[in-house]
Homo-oligomer: A and B are copies of this chain.
Amino acid sequence: MAKQYKYQLTEKDIPKTWYNIQADLGFDLPPLLHPETKEPTILPPPLFCEAINEQEFSKEREIEIPDPVREIYSSWRPTPLIRAHRLEKALDTPAHLYYKYEGGNPAGSHKPNTAVAQAFYAKEAGVKRLSTETGAGQWGSALAFACGLMDMECKVFMVRASYNQKPYRRVLMETWNAEVVPSPNAETPMGQAFLEQDADHPGSLGIAISEAVFTAGTNDDTNYSLGSVLNHVLMHQTVVGLEALKQFEMADEYPDILVGCIGGGSNFSGFVLPFVREKIVDGKDTRVIAVEPTASPSLTKGLFAFDYGDTAQAAPILKMYTLGHTFIPAPIHAGGLRYHGMAPIVSALHDRGIIEAVAVSQLPVFEAAVQFARAEGIIPAPESAHAVRVAIDEALRAKEEGTAKVIAFNLSGHGHFDMAAYDAYNKGELEDYEYPAEEVEKAVQLLPEVELA
């Protein structure tokens, strides 16, 4: 009989509730602040429906997943937990390496876990359309996919540089019926202003956020949707970790080390938070490692402070690890990891030493990705490959130490739309980037002045 390496749950094992870690933190998260008044605020009601606002601030431990959302989840969930036995062999390590694979759905990443939920609540609230921004295209694809299935309209502001360089991501969104426009775009006042400066303005995530927010704010039938950072987004992703907990029971193991890549914080949190609960509440001794790029090192080099969520200072102020809202990322291929800040929940956990962070650079990340692809078959997204790198590093350390550590990482997506990056790596044309410390010092001067009562 062939050996078992894949731990596959069935449809009835799809979680019935999301896990809300705010119930177990033992402390309150700092408030969200209005960008002008700097007073505590909820998520702006013209942009978000009430159900989302409730979830954002809830302290209920378990929040029910609506049946229609579970029905759509069931198209691709539960996702497999796989023992990377061929990679273990290639590394000659005594470690047990596992990965949870979230790239098996049509949008190719973990992002639909929240996109479907957000589209559902908006539709229930009578909203006809969702607007959002996308850089590399993973989040925009997920929201377009969710809106397609929900029969809702979707408008995506795609950073113009990506719009021109990654046409296939655009076609994917259009095939699901989304309207995709390059950002900056003349249809918004801020877009118009940027285009007047430069008719070929390449755009940025900060500008695209402003345009998507403006569109939702000025159209009654439209809400705004965000793919990471906020509490409710992280909570929707906990289906990943909740399934993984069950799958480790099937495998009769428990992870010593958990690894996830991190940009805004959503795939990392979805995977680790249910295990962090066991660490906080049950005293489990698990190392939890967030992996960020050296080109965008908010957790390892940033400041834990109140900062604006976007460049244009239109979004709420959050207490988070930040490189400053004026941060301009280097053009690394992990576009999903280039945000200037970090989810408040992840920031608080890091500040209190409950999780660790490590930064890795692009070349060793792609080296790990190719090694993983040849051993396990799946071509990782450049973002997910950051987790692969550190999981391999820990497996090699276990080999040195001669310990059979159980290491698990979240393989948050595939790289089918990132083959240009692999081509550059295969040809030796990729470069490493390290964000300079002096830039962080400069950016910190621009943090908003906040006085809390």
Contact = CB atoms under 8 A, between A and B. Distances in A.
A420 B167 CA distance: 9
Contact of A74 (B6, B70, B175): B6
Nearest to A108: B416
Contact of A8 (B8, B68, B174, B422): B8
A121 interface: no
Interface string A64-85: 0001101100110000001000
Interface in A1-32: 1-6, 8, 10-11, 14
Size category of the binding interface on chain A:
35 or more
A91 interface: no
Contacts of A4: 11, 74
A145 B378 CA distance: 9
Contacts of A177: 374
A175 B423 CA distance: 8
Interface of A: 1-6, 8, 10-11, 14, 67-68, 70-71, 74-75, 82, 86, 104-108, 145, 148-149, 167-168, 171-172, 174-177, 370, 373-379, 414, 416-417, 419-420, 422-423, 426
Contact of A422 (B74, B75, B149, B175): B175
A68 B1 CA distance: 9
Given A2-B70, A71-B2, A423-B167, A373 B176 contact: yes
Select the residue from A71, A105, A171, A414 with max chain B CB neighbours within 10 A: A171
B171 A2 contact: no
A108 B6 CA distance: 19
B8 A171 contact: no
Contact of A105 (B70, B167, B377): B377
